Amino acid sequence: MIHYFEGQLGHTFVIISFVTSMLAAYAFFRGRKQDAQWTSFGSKIFYVHSIAILGIIGTLFYLITNHYFEYHYVFSHSSKLLPVYYQISCFWEGQEGSFLLWMFWNAVLGIILINSNKFWKAPVMLVMSLTQVFLTSMILGVVIFDLKLGSSPFMLLREVIDAPIFKTNPNFIPEDGNGLNPLLQNYWMVIHPPTLFLGFATTVIPFAYCIGGLIIGKNKEWIRPALPWAQFSAMILGVGILMGAYWAYETLNFGGYWNWDPVENAIYIPWLVLVAAIHVMIAYKKSGSALKLSMILVVSSFILVLYATFLTRSGILGNSSVHSFTDLGLSGQLLIYLLVFLTLSIFFIIKRWKDVPSTKEETSTYSREFWIFMGSAILCLMAFQVLVYTSMPVYNKIAALLGFELSLAPPTDIYDAYSLPQMILSIFLAILSGTGQFFWWKKMDGKKLKSELTTPFIVSLIISGLVIVLAKITDPYYLILLVASVYSIVANSKIFIGVAKSNIKLSGGSIAHIGVALMLVGILFSSGYSTILSTNYTSMVWSTEFPEEVNRDNLLLFINEPRQMNEYSMIYRGVRKMTREEGYVNQNNLLPTIDPLKTVRITGDQKDTLTLINPENSYFEVEYHSEEGKQFTLYPRVQLNPNMGAVYSPDIRRNLSADMYTHVRTFPDPEQEPDWSDPQEISVQIGDQFFINDYVATLTRMEPISEIDGTPLSSNDVAVKAIIEVQGEYQNYIAEPVFVIRNREYVGRIDDQVHDLAFRISIQNIIPQDNSVALAFQTTQKDWIIMEAVKKPWINLLWIGTFLLVIGFIVAINRRYSEFVKMRDKGVEA
């Protein structure tokens, strides 16, 4: 039965949210000049809008959790096997759900703004409501005069897919859905998208204060309330970006946390510009300079978020990104969204440009403003450098619209295109962040500057020299980056100690800068000085489909055969499944049941029913044994997805000084029947030893049995099984082939397979004359994997630096918000 009501209810909520967002925008426009009646009406309408958004979200969650696969969104992103926490991820896997997540955060932030500042309520909420108009239009899913407006998550499957089954059976409902993308089946995907979209949503607030201020003629007063929101936005967006990096590190198989993917770049760019805007805004608060630059950078950060949205959701990136969404026909709407806000911004900036105060004094190199502007310029240059390459598909599209072909391809050499230029600019950034802090807190001249910098400079050189010698750093760029980063840490530590003694609330900048410098050191070591432990020193090429570096850096491991890799001996133990009761268990000992989440484990004559966790995943057990006698086990995983094929994810052993990063490149196709050798027959008696596939085996006894696979034998049937003990590399195995005579006439043979030792054995005959048994066995290739093991030194400095960056932002936000509240409570609304 198709559940029509739920979909119609959800669509009704969508229409209500769209209409109320337009009404709220109109009401706040009318109330922009402190009209209390219109502003109050707009606030009430925005509350209704927010309730409608909650209705949309609740309805869609209801459809997903109840497995209503007649709806296209539910069918495309969910399945019955997914645990609840991954069903949550299903909500925002598709474009419609991610737009909903963005709308939700905008609504939450809008309600906070309505209740936090009476003076700025109408102009700021006017801009917030306009963003909601465009976002809700993205999920309308209506057609007006052959023009599609939005893509609704409440479309029925038959309305989207033109499949023959719907012509014969319009009410057909699939038994199950396609499920969640295997790469998104990670706990970080439960928290990363909400954080990232909160970051997206917060970028509109400083933008709204800026544009709202220009609308009502408060050309400079918007800075004070906008600054803490800009800092909050930069913190959340930065955390969201780094959560994505950590997800990539744990889930993807490229061996790192950042690959300069266009989608990664598209989010990184506005974050850099926003951080630059924050510094310029702070400079304006201190000296009254660079107000125009603050306006441009704040506006640019939000416009670049919209540009990132266009890049990732319009389909323009094509196959150049593993993260981008497929085009749902929304590219035109996204472009209009971008152009409307860009046009409005340019209009109001030009309109108020002459009225915006500016200073005509020449900035001295010994002023704090000079160093802030230099740092902001470096941040903007970093953003622009990435933007140029990331936008290549856009250049091609524009050229095609103009009637000629450009055919620019994304750079293949990522190091030269992105990593090297960003590294060089980061060196300057580290130096500026260390030096500029001294100008911020003290009036400087040449003599004072030399006095202040001498100690940090000497300490930095000593520490850097020791690290260079111990870590054997030889690359000139890495040498300079290390010295610059250590200098930034030491210089900002000195500032922190001095500032914290008087007022810890003033130390946010120095803490954040220390965090950034630590991140640079962590990136330097983990990316530049990773050690490949699985180097292939043989001349074998694992696959002609693999690039040269994959064949060079990956090693073949046969099951239970140790291989020495650098200081570790590694042993592949086989394929495992994850169970709730026993953790990882041997897949070869499991039998399927009617319930796909249940399995039966056979251990000798004992059977246990276990609950599978993520049954579609299989795990490769790899043991590491160090020369010091330490041992640990990693479980890189694979999911055989019907749509994506084999999807591999790594496993990581985390230590303070280094991570052990392990991932499997390929393994034998489980769907392919093994290539068995010709049977070899042998006659043995009880107690005899013999060889099977070079393993010592002993026929220990013969046992009569009364049932086979739970089915009792009849009185005319006779069955016996052989108990054969086989000595493996690390344990003994038991093979139990069965010999059956039915109705005293028909002979049946049930072989037994020992997967780890790559053989199967059967009883061919029982010879009572000489008390012997005729056995036959066949062998095949042992189970194997091709895997890569990488040691990533000091990667934890990256995550520790991230933590300090967040702490620094929190301290700074607390300070700026306290200042804003004090001024607001005094009646200074700006």
Determine the pLDDT at residue 26.
96
Determine the pLDDT at residue 322.
54
Let me know the angle formed at the C-alpha of 696 by 694 and 697, rounded to the nearest 5 degrees.
120
Q: Which residue has the tokens 């933008």?
A: 207
Determine the pLDDT at residue 673.
86
Nearest to residue 128, comparing CAs of 19, 245, 207, 233? 207
Centre a 10 Å sphere on the Cβ of residue 734 and count the other Cβ atoms it contains. Answer: 12
Q: Give 245: exposed, middle or buried? Use CB within 10 Å, 0-12, 13-18, 19+.
A: buried
Low-confidence residues of the chain: pLDDT under 70: 318-329, 360-366, 440-446, 824-830
Centre a 10 Å sphere on the Cβ of residue 39 and count the other Cβ atoms it contains. Answer: 23
Determine the pLDDT at residue 211.
95
Whole-number Cα distances in Å, 735 to 597, 747, 752, 777, 814: 28, 20, 6, 11, 69
DSSP 38-67: HHHHHHHHHHHHHHHHHHHHHHHHHHHHTT
Q: Which tens digit of pLDDT belongs to each residue from 31-86?
A: 988 888 999 999 999 999 999 999 999 999 999 999 999 999 999 999 988 888 88
Let me know the angle formed at the C-alpha of 191 by 189 and 197, rounded to the nearest 5 degrees.
95
Determine the pLDDT at residue 248.
87
Phi/psi at 237 (5° precision): -65, -40
Contact 268, 258 (CB under 8 A): no
Cα–Cα distance measured from residue 222 to residue 229, given in angstroms and rounded to the nearest whole number: 11
Q: Is 179 helix (H, G, I), strand (E, B) or coil?
A: coil
Q: Is 764 helix (H, G, I), strand (E, B) or coil?
A: strand
Cα–Cα distance measured from residue 393 to residue 371, given in angstroms and rounded to the nearest whole number: 36
Cα–Cα distance measured from residue 459 to residue 218, given in angstroms and rounded to the nearest whole number: 47
Contact 218, 117 (CB under 8 A): no
Contact 566, 555 (CB under 8 A): no
Q: 746: part of which helix (H) or strand (E)?
A: strand 746-750
Contact 683, 774 (CB under 8 A): yes
Buried b (16+ CB within 10 A) or exposed e, 267-292: bbbbbbbbbbbbbbbbbbeeeebbbb
Q: 695: part of which helix (H) or strand (E)?
A: strand 695-704
Determine the pLDDT at residue 238.
93
Cα–Cα distance measured from residue 235 to residue 241, given in angstroms and rounded to the nearest whole number: 10
Q: Is 442 helix (H, G, I), strand (E, B) or coil?
A: coil
Determine the pLDDT at residue 326.
56
Let me know the angle formed at the C-alpha of 228 by 223 and 231, rounded to the nearest 5 degrees.
110
